Amino acid sequence: MGKTGTWRVFRPVIDKEKCIKCWFCWVYCPDAAIARKEYPEVDYDYCKGCGICANECPVNAIEMRREEK
Amino acid sequence: MGKTGTWRVFRPVIDKEKCIKCWFCWVYCPDAAIARKEYPEVDYDYCKGCGICANECPVNAIEMRREEK
Amino acid sequence: MLKEIIFYGRGGQGGVTAANLLASAALKSGNKGVQAFPFFGAERRGAPVKAFARISDEEIYLRSQIREPDVVVVLDTGIMDVVNVTEGLKEDGIVLLNTPRKPSEVEMPCRVATVDATTIALNNKILVGGIPVVNTPLVGALAKLLDGVNIEAVKEAIKERFGKNAEANANAAEQAYNEVVL
Amino acid sequence: MLKEIIFYGRGGQGGVTAANLLASAALKSGNKGVQAFPFFGAERRGAPVKAFARISDEEIYLRSQIREPDVVVVLDTGIMDVVNVTEGLKEDGIVLLNTPRKPSEVEMPCRVATVDATTIALNNKILVGGIPVVNTPLVGALAKLLDGVNIEAVKEAIKERFGKNAEANANAAEQAYNEVVL
Amino acid sequence: MMVAIKDLPLDEKILKGHAACPGCPITIALRIALKALGEKTMLVIPASCSAVVQALYPKTAFNVPTLNIAFEASAAAASGVSSALKALEKEDVLPVVWAGDGGSYDIGLQALSGALERGTDFIYVCYNNQMYSNTGIQRSGATPYGAWTTTTWKGKEEHQKELAEIVMAHHIPYVATATIAYPTDLYEKMKKAKEMKGPRYIEILAPCPPGWRFDMSKTVEMSRLAVETGAWVLYEMVDGKMEFTGYSKRLLAGKKRKPIKDWLKMQGRFRHLTEEDIEEIKKEIDAKWDYYMKIYGGNEDGK
Amino acid sequence: MMVAIKDLPLDEKILKGHAACPGCPITIALRIALKALGEKTMLVIPASCSAVVQALYPKTAFNVPTLNIAFEASAAAASGVSSALKALEKEDVLPVVWAGDGGSYDIGLQALSGALERGTDFIYVCYNNQMYSNTGIQRSGATPYGAWTTTTWKGKEEHQKELAEIVMAHHIPYVATATIAYPTDLYEKMKKAKEMKGPRYIEILAPCPPGWRFDMSKTVEMSRLAVETGAWVLYEMVDGKMEFTGYSKRLLAGKKRKPIKDWLKMQGRFRHLTEEDIEEIKKEIDAKWDYYMKIYGGNEDGK
Amino acid sequence: MIVIDTGNHIAALAAKMAKPHVIAAYPITPQTTIVERLAQYVENGEMDAEFIRVESEHSAMAACIGAASVGARTFTATSSHGLLLMHEMLHWAGLARLPIVMVNVNRALGPGWNIWSDLNDSLSQRDTGWIQFYASSVQEAYDNIIQAYKIAENEEVMLPAMICYDGFILSHTSMPAEIPEQHEVDKFLPEYKPAWKMDVEKPATHGNIVPPEYYIQIRYDMHLAMERAKKIIQEVGEEFGRKFGREYGLIHEYRCDDADYVMVTMSSIAAEGRVAVDRLREKGEKVGLVNLRTFRPFPREMLKYDKMIVIDRDISPGLGGVVYNEIRGNGSEVYGFMAGLGGMDVSYKDIERMYELAKQGKEGLYPLEVK
Amino acid sequence: MIVIDTGNHIAALAAKMAKPHVIAAYPITPQTTIVERLAQYVENGEMDAEFIRVESEHSAMAACIGAASVGARTFTATSSHGLLLMHEMLHWAGLARLPIVMVNVNRALGPGWNIWSDLNDSLSQRDTGWIQFYASSVQEAYDNIIQAYKIAENEEVMLPAMICYDGFILSHTSMPAEIPEQHEVDKFLPEYKPAWKMDVEKPATHGNIVPPEYYIQIRYDMHLAMERAKKIIQEVGEEFGRKFGREYGLIHEYRCDDADYVMVTMSSIAAEGRVAVDRLREKGEKVGLVNLRTFRPFPREMLKYDKMIVIDRDISPGLGGVVYNEIRGNGSEVYGFMAGLGGMDVSYKDIERMYELAKQGKEGLYPLEVK
Ligand SMILES: Cc1ncc(C[n+]2csc(CCOP(=O)(O)OP(=O)(O)O)c2C)c(N)n1
Ligand SMILES: Cc1ncc(C[n+]2csc(CCOP(=O)(O)OP(=O)(O)O)c2C)c(N)n1
Ligand code: SF4
Ligand code: SF4
Ligand code: SF4
Ligand code: SF4
Ligand code: SF4
Ligand code: SF4
Ligand SMILES: [Mg+2]
Ligand SMILES: [Mg+2]
């Protein structure tokens, strides 16, 4: 149970403006890396960057950005 | 494969007079001990005396008799 | 003193039970060492089977089969065509046969006892799957032939073992005890 | 002379294939002893993995893992947060990093070479399941760093192994060979 | 078009002198099956009464090549035999598994299922005596509800597995049921299966006198009564198409079933059942037949 | 009456930092399932990706008691767990097997069937990614016709086993199918199963990016499309009564299925299929749905 | 109380009196009558246990593993092919350190089918981490089962235990056995309090992936536990002796004190061997006998006699007698005989003969190839 | 031709070139790539064999037994739990005297899951009647497979054979190997002509019930066949040497001639050991190495050195190192180390260290508990 955030090549970035709080990103995240706070919050220590959240967000509020290392 | 005829307590005896050659006794004998000759013929060397032939003979042509030893 | 007994019979006739009953009865009769065991093949009902019993006033350490019996019991004389039942029999050993014949009518090179256990079984209506069970009468007969075993212990052993058929079997044993001829 | 190389990467990036390609290329370049092997955990895609290669002019009997490498190749600098890649590195050993940075921009207590394999992979469109495969460019870069291995052998090894993507991968290797900076 | 008993081949592949109990259903079934299958048959037999009845090494009562194999492994071994025959270009020889219900419903199920899924070219015969008879009457997955065995002293509490149904769910070319009381039905199903390719499954009800506790002369009668009471059903499913056969077909067409009680009462293993238990069992059989009527009935001749 | 996503419990039993591939369907399914099952759950897990994703000893990402067990033994081990819980009077705890398709359709089938027959009180979940993913993508009994794997390079020649059908032939109280794209459907089925007794079986389609060869961001999309094209069907069978659920219910009610081609084309494992192959597969799906329509259809809402 | 019954029935009685929570077993000749009897006990309420009627031996052991993992006391029994089919799960139970108790009725392996006694079945499980007891009488079978639980469940041990005895020769032989009262057994063998178990209160994962550094320790600790078991077996055997009058250790010596030759064997041959020793002693031969009660742990350090004659009812192809090979090499002069395979009867006369042959410096397969 | 590839791929190539009629196999890490490669060979027509995609290893071995009984040449491969699950069928194949050839990629046993090298899996099958080869290089893996068929199918032997090598360390390591031409292999290994097989022309029954008198003979003959195999292995190894330039026997000695200490080990540690020996020799230590090629038959009579150091990558609970225990007791001074369990890396430095420890009279679990 290392910090799997280091596996990431692309990182999901959530645009709260767009978010309609459908919580799809939360329910589908294989890594339980999105918290259901006021808005969805990504835990970058563990998010592996699969992109499911972005793919499933109905309003395209999540963008996958190349990690800078 | 000993001679299983010695297992017998009762022996089937076929009454040719009554026999209608339906061959049930032949087909049902678990020990292949009845030959399909002109009339059914019991091989007493191997017949174990189960009595199926007598039970199945539609005309009661087979009688089970106590073995004399 | 060690007594060794072999039972010859067929699967389904209860030869193994006979050996067990004899051992129980022997224990009840005060013997410290008793033992009963089958020589099982993978035999099916009707095939020849063999069982053994040992009785002694001391603990028994033997585990091997009996090769030189004191008494041989033949549950079904039919197997005598296939098996030499007197093989290894001790000099003064006895063969107990289940037959309506008298010992005098039997030609064997040893002491012979007889009892018509099949008829006794049929009379007492002890049958399993159509086959008369001759073991209890034969154990009854053995009580007569063996010093260390008494008929009351035999009947008690039968009663412990058999449920609703206990009475019929005990009767058969007693009858055989009375009818056996040496 | 024995040269020992460790590859650090993540499942799916092709670190194991890199080691294999290097061994093939080394054999083609005339080395008698070559060897390539992974340290597999039960790792899944994305998890850190390690692979090893040995190159020698004599037959290799070693079967143990490499503990004191001559060269360390880092397919993904992200793992440097979790793994100390210079551990055991020989005195004059080299670390080859997959990074857009120059060696001078990297602070490490050893000789450093760099090549931007990810960009080369993306440019050559070599991806598996969305992940850029950086192994072929890095093996190309190694041909520059290792004496006994030539770039033609690397390209040949790539062509033997890859079917329809052979060309793209060979190009990537060549490009990296040219772009690597020590 | 049914073959008549007198037309069944005389040739016997099961020799006299085998070691089965008097009145054993297995050897009846095997005699008939091998008349249909003929000499180009290789038997694969797991641990079971069928392994024992062959008699002791170095003798054998079976006159076709016979491979005895571990209890759970018959279908897998038969896959090997089948593939080897193919590889050695002897495809005219047919591997036939001859397994008990224990070796099929329970411990051998996985090997069977695997062989069906990969399309093994063989016939798998399960002779079902509804218990482990070889080891002395223990419950199997095929033991019916309520039956006494030495591991279900008060009667089995669970219902039997429906192996033929499970096999049908594998969508194989041929599935059939039979029983020894109807030798021509059994013979014809074997013949039909023999002419096909791929996995074929035939299950034969085999009433066992010591196991079911009935007189050894009643084996065939018991088998017949199972069909007449609807406790056992004769059918075949060819490429997914179901057809009832023989007496069962007549039942489907509306003939009245004999009371199940008649069948139960003949068997010592059901002796302890109360009237309510019997009523319970009757209801299930009724329900089963209602279901058959609904899906397969409606046609006078039961097609 | 369907629960809404926002109503699903927040509590997570699958901790962050597990070892699954990015985009893994297993952990999505497990997260949702455990939300329904709650903390009085004991997992029994055979060899599979699910054993690996837990992370390395002495750590673990699973926050319910978890018993890892040999590949073929999960249902049997769960029987032991279930009986022990009964004997120790802890019947409020539920044993749940969490097994892959390989461990269920193939090597673990017998243990499963045995547990079902003897009425084990447990839930058996098969997450079906249609191949052995843990060992690197080999065919399983669940691999569909035509799919590439590393043991079927030209595409599997046989059709997949229908395990849910096989399980239904065991006549157990509850059988259901689900998939991760429909989390509330899955959640409710788990909840319903949890409230019942006896053997319960739930199978979850779990598209695996490396195994099926698609981009890791498409796991959920792939799952959804399987249902929309009719390749996967959502239903539940309670005490023998079948009911379609969710999107599949709408399909049964007459909604048009998306072309199966859309689903096949998204997956690298089907890349080699010709147009004829695809047509073939389409026909089968059509036939399957025709069959469903015939037996279960006819009611507007698909009941 | 003295009870006369077969080895199997007495074993079933012992199992019953040990009060396991869960039994999972599958029938196989010659073990069957154990299972049957236990099913009967459970069904008629004489025993308060869950009986799992599994579909194979592999599942029997898996079910015991599942049950033991939750903290239940478990029992099973098998023989021959049943034991072989469990092989993977035997290793599993050992490494998982679950104190499962099992009876194995020794029987030969196929093909061809042979249902008679032969120790290859259990001996070929000697690497699985199971304690192995061998009984030479019905009484010992009973006593071993009761003690096995106490030993297996001991914190310092925590290993599964197998009680072995010869098929038919003991399993189907009726002999008298002294059976203690239930309350005495309860006192000797209190309820099982597992050191670890699956528990929803304390969620933990068992058996996930173990990296080499941990694996080597876990596996070695299992080896040490087997070594520690020696002491515990001794202690429990002594306590049993104090309570029930029959004392046990790892081996049982008979007339060894002044013996020139000591015969070493186990299971029923060890009983028969006493008769041979008595007869040989009568003839003036200085001979003794060791009955190996445990084969795992193996009491090698106790087997230090100048001249030994080992009788194996087994043969490992390419190795020979398994017991012989574990004894060999301790500095003694050792003669090995393989005898009684596949149920061949071994009588005291045969054992006397083997003694004579050993004195001539011979050994081998008795009676066929001795040289 | 020199080919560079992993141990598994080279093994698959060897299997292909041996031309089996039937392959039945089930995937398991780290054997998987053998199966995958063979499936590919068969599917793309490079190999004319039937590939049975079984649903378990038990069935894999059962299928091989079925196929071999009809006279087919067969191949399978497995590892660890797969091998354990085959246990019953391994005994079966042995006693049925079927020359099945199998690769076992050595891997540790669970629980917990551990996929790395460890020889307990195959060593705990040492009673099953299988010939066991251990390879220390990819080349040896290839050569052993080809020779195994010729040895197993020899009339005097007729036993199944297992080729073992370390998981990952060899299975996944790419190394160069010299691969002969197909026609050369064909000449060395002609078509299999079985002495007996199932045949509808000559109906016979295999494996029915065997009474003790016959059983004892059948089982003993299996033991003798294993002994006879020694000669055949030697002969075939020499013939192989003549034809392909690499000669083989039961053991391979390296710098043993004047050695004071001989290290004995097998599998990959034996290769690494050469490096240690070379380094120690450089330091003036008189040390040699024996690479055990066969563990069954076990060449005990060849292992007569004054002082031996045995390195086991295994541990049998209650016994210790399996190889050590089979060697022990031949009159030599023997030190035993258990090392590398569960994939623990064993380097030449570790081996040098064990040598030093042995010289101090120490032995045990390396590196944790040496005394
Ligand atoms: C692995 C294994 N377990 C158990 C047995 C013991 N055994 C042999 S036959 C048998 C029962 C067979 O039952 P079934 O398949 O129904 O055949 P039947 O005896 O009824 O003919 C059993 C339990 C065995 N031989 N192998
Ligand atoms: C007896 C045995 N054979 C083979 C294996 C190797 N093995 C472990 S997991 C696995 C495949 C699992 O497939 P599946 O059950 O579908 O789960 P998935 O990996 O797809 O999650 C295999 C073949 C094993 N552990 N044990
Ligand atoms: S990218 Fe994947 S792992 Fe990261 S938050 Fe989104 S769904 Fe979760
Ligand atoms: S899926 Fe998109 S809209 Fe829905 S909660 Fe997440 S970010 Fe917001
Ligand atoms: S009594 Fe039985 S064995 Fe004898 S002939 Fe009649 S049916 Fe055959
Ligand atoms: S059954 Fe009766 S009537 Fe028919 S052939 Fe036999 S004896 Fe004749
Ligand atoms: S027990 Fe039944 S099935 Fe077995 S041989 Fe006897 S009659 Fe036939
Ligand atoms: S291979 Fe597939 S199922 Fe396995 S962990 Fe990766 S994504 Fe999940
Ligand atoms: Mg049966
Ligand atoms: Mg899977």
Closest CA to H125 of G144, G126, D28: G126
H162 is written with which tokens? 């297992």
Cβ-based neighbour number of residue D160 at 10 Å: 11
Mean pLDDT for G13-24 is: 98
Residue whose entry in the numeric block shows the structure tokens 């699969």: A50
Residue whose entry in the numeric block shows the structure tokens 């048959």: E41
Query: Are residues E151 and G53, on separate chains, in Cβ contact within 8 Å?
Result: yes
A67 pLDDT tier (thresholds 50, 70, 90): confident
Residue A51 to residue A34: CA distance in whole angstroms:
12
Residue H88 to residue G124: CA distance in whole angstroms:
11
Residue E45 to residue E97: CA distance in whole angstroms:
6
B66 pLDDT tier (thresholds 50, 70, 90): confident
Query: Are residues F69 and G209, on separate chains, in Cβ contact within 8 Å?
Result: no
Mean pLDDT for H309-317 is: 98
In ligand 4, which atom is closest to the CA atom of A53?
Answer: 1
Q: What is the pLDDT of residue E299?
A: 54
Q: Which residue of G has its CA nearest to D42?
A: G209
Top mutation candidate among B34, B36, B41, B66 for ligand 5, by most atoms within 8 Å of CB: B34
Residue B38 to residue B15: CA distance in whole angstroms:
13
Residue B7 C-alpha, separation from nearest chain C C-alpha, in angstroms = 5
H or E stretch at H52: strand H50-52
CB-ligand 4 contact for A35 (6 Å cutoff)? no
Q: What is the pLDDT of residue C42?
A: 62
Instruction: Indicate whether G202 pLDDT > 70.
Output: yes
- Report the SS3 class of residue H77: strand
Instruction: Indicate whether G355 pLDDT > 80.
Output: yes
Residue C62 to residue A26: CA distance in whole angstroms:
75
- Report the SS3 class of residue H85: helix
G26 is written with which tokens? 């599958």
Taking each continuous run of H as one helix and of E as one strand, the counts in chain F are 11, 8
Q: Per-domain residue ranges for chain H?
A: 2-244, 251-370
Q: What is the pLDDT of residue E300?
A: 47
**pLDDT tens, residue by residue, A22-53:** 999 999 999 999 999 999 999 999 999 999 99
**pLDDT tens, residue by residue, F96-146:** 999 999 999 999 999 999 999 999 999 999 999 999 999 999 999 999 999
In DSSP notation, D65-80 reads PPSS-SEEEES-GGGG
Closest CA to F203 of F164, F231, F245, F171: F164
Q: What is the pLDDT of residue G140?
A: 98
**pLDDT tens, residue by residue, C109-149:** 999 999 999 999 999 998 877 778 899 999 999 999 999 99
Task: State CA F197 to chain mean position distance.
Answer: 20
Residue G130 to residue G292: CA distance in whole angstroms:
16
D133 pLDDT tier (thresholds 50, 70, 90): confident
Residue E77 to residue C2: CA distance in whole angstroms:
51
3.40.50.300, 3.30.930.10, 3.90.1150.10, 3.40.50.920: which CATH number matches H251-370? Answer: 3.40.50.920
Q: What is the pLDDT of residue A9?
A: 82
Residue E265 to residue G331: CA distance in whole angstroms:
70
Instruction: Indicate whether D110 pLDDT > 70.
Output: yes
Phi/psi at H353 (nearest 5 deg)? -65, -40
F298 pLDDT tier (thresholds 50, 70, 90): low
Residue G151 to residue G328: CA distance in whole angstroms:
28
Average pLDDT, chain C: 92
F33 pLDDT tier (thresholds 50, 70, 90): very high
DSSP 8-state code for residue H279:
H
B1 pLDDT tier (thresholds 50, 70, 90): low
Give the C-alpha distances (Å, rounded to integers) separating F98 from D34, F49, F194. 43, 11, 14
Residue F52 to residue D43: CA distance in whole angstroms:
8
Instruction: Indicate whether A66 pLDDT > 50.
Output: yes
Give the C-alpha distances (Å, rounded to integers) separating E95 from E121, E125, E172, H70. 8, 11, 17, 11
Residues facing D5 on adjacent strands: D53, D71
**Which range, of C12-16, D128-132, E162-166, H68-72, averages the lowest pLDDT?**
D128-132
Phi/psi at F176 (nearest 5 deg)? -145, 155
**pLDDT tens, residue by residue, G109-129:** 999 999 999 999 999 999 999
Please check whether the two domains, G2-244 and G251-370, share a CATH topology.
yes
**Which range, of E201-210, F245-254, H83-92, H321-330, averages the lowest pLDDT?**
H321-330
Residue G244 to residue G236: CA distance in whole angstroms:
12
CB neighbours of F290 closer than 8 A, spacing ≥ 6? none
Q: Are F52 and F94 in contact (CB under 8 A)?
A: no
The residues whose Cβ lies within 5 A of ligand 9, an ion, are E 100-102, 129
G250 is written with which tokens? 């790892």
Mean pLDDT for F199-223 is: 97
Q: Are H113 and G209 in contact (CB under 8 A)?
A: yes
Q: What is the pLDDT of residue D44?
A: 75
Cβ-based neighbour number of residue C107 at 10 Å: 6
**Which range, of A34-38, B6-10, F238-242, F282-286, averages the lowest pLDDT?**
B6-10
State the count of interchain CB pairs (< 8 A) between D and H.
Answer: 64
Q: What is the pLDDT of residue F214?
A: 96
**pLDDT tens, residue by residue, G148-170:** 999 999 999 999 999 999 999 99
Who has greater pLDDT, H284 or C43? H284
Residue F300 C-alpha, separation from nearest chain A C-alpha, in angstroms = 29
* Positive or negative torsion for Cα E62, E63, E68, E71: negative
Residue nearest to atom 3 of ligand 5 (CA): B47
Task: State CA G27 to chain mean position distance.
Answer: 19
H or E stretch at G196: none
Residues facing G307 on adjacent strands: G261, G333
For chain F, list residues whose CB is within 8 angstroms of any CB belonging to chain H.
Answer: 47, 51-52, 57, 68-72, 106-107, 109, 132, 134-136, 138-139, 141, 150-154
Report the separation in Å between the CA atom of B53 and the middle of ligand 6, taken as the mean of its atom positions.
Answer: 8
Secondary structure of chain E: what % helix, strand, coil (to 5)? 40, 15, 45
Domains and CATH numbers, chain D: 3-179 (3.40.920.10)
Q: Are H270 and H309 in contact (CB under 8 A)?
A: no
Mean pLDDT for H323-348 is: 94
Give the C-alpha distances (Å, rounded to integers) separating F135 from E110, F47, F48, F211, G1. 21, 10, 8, 10, 58
Nearest bound ligand to CA B61? 6
E301 pLDDT tier (thresholds 50, 70, 90): very low
Fold held by E5-296: Rossmann fold (3.40.50)
- Report the SS3 class of residue C89: coil
CB neighbours of D108 closer than 8 A, spacing ≥ 6? D86, D95
A14 pLDDT tier (thresholds 50, 70, 90): very high
Cβ-based neighbour number of residue F86 at 10 Å: 16
H or E stretch at F291: helix F275-296
Who has greater pLDDT, F204 or C164? F204
Closest partner residue to A7 among D46, D77, D130, by Cβ?
A: D46
DSSP 8-state code for residue D37:
E
Amino acid at F58: P
**pLDDT tens, residue by residue, G271-309:** 999 999 999 999 999 999 999 999 999 999 999 999 999
- Produce one character per residue of H220-251: b if its CB has 16 or more CB atoms within 10 Å, e if not: bebbebbebbbebbbebbeebeeebeeebbbb
Top mutation candidate among B14, B15, B18, B24 for ligand 6, by most atoms within 8 Å of CB: B24
For chain C, list residues whose CB is within 8 angstroms of any CB belonging to chain G.
Answer: 16, 19-20, 23-24, 27, 32-40, 42, 60-65, 67
Residue whose entry in the numeric block shows the structure tokens 């520059």: D144
Amino acid at G192: Y
Q: What is the pLDDT of residue B3?
A: 85
Percentage with pLDDT > 90 across chain C? 74
Q: What is the pLDDT of residue A69?
A: 53
Average pLDDT, chain B: 94
The alpha carbons of chain D give a radius of gyration, in whole angstroms, of: 15
C11 pLDDT tier (thresholds 50, 70, 90): confident
Phi/psi at C65 (nearest 5 deg)? -70, 160
The most distant pair of C-alpha atoms in chain D lies apart, rounded to whole Å, by 41
CB neighbours of E232 closer than 8 A, spacing ≥ 6? E177, E179, E205, E223, E226
Q: Where are the alpha helices (DSSP H) in chain G?
A: 7-17, 32-43, 57-69, 80-85, 87-95, 120-123, 138-152, 182-188, 212-244, 268-282, 322-327, 348-359
Residues facing E133 on adjacent strands: none
**Which range, of F190-199, F292-301, G7-16, H174-183, averages the lowest pLDDT?**
F292-301
In CATH, the number for domain H2-244 is 3.40.50.970
- The ipTM value here is 0.97
The alpha carbons of chain C give a radius of gyration, in whole angstroms, of: 15
Nearest bound ligand to CA F213? 8
F277 is written with which tokens? 């192959």
Q: Are D29 and D153 in contact (CB under 8 A)?
A: yes
Instruction: Indicate whether B9 pLDDT > 90.
Output: no
Mean pLDDT for E180-187 is: 98
CB neighbours of G183 closer than 8 A, spacing ≥ 6? none
Closest CA to D7 of D71, D81, D93: D71
- Report the SS3 class of residue H50: strand
Closest partner residue to B24 among E5, E24, E55, by Cβ?
A: E5
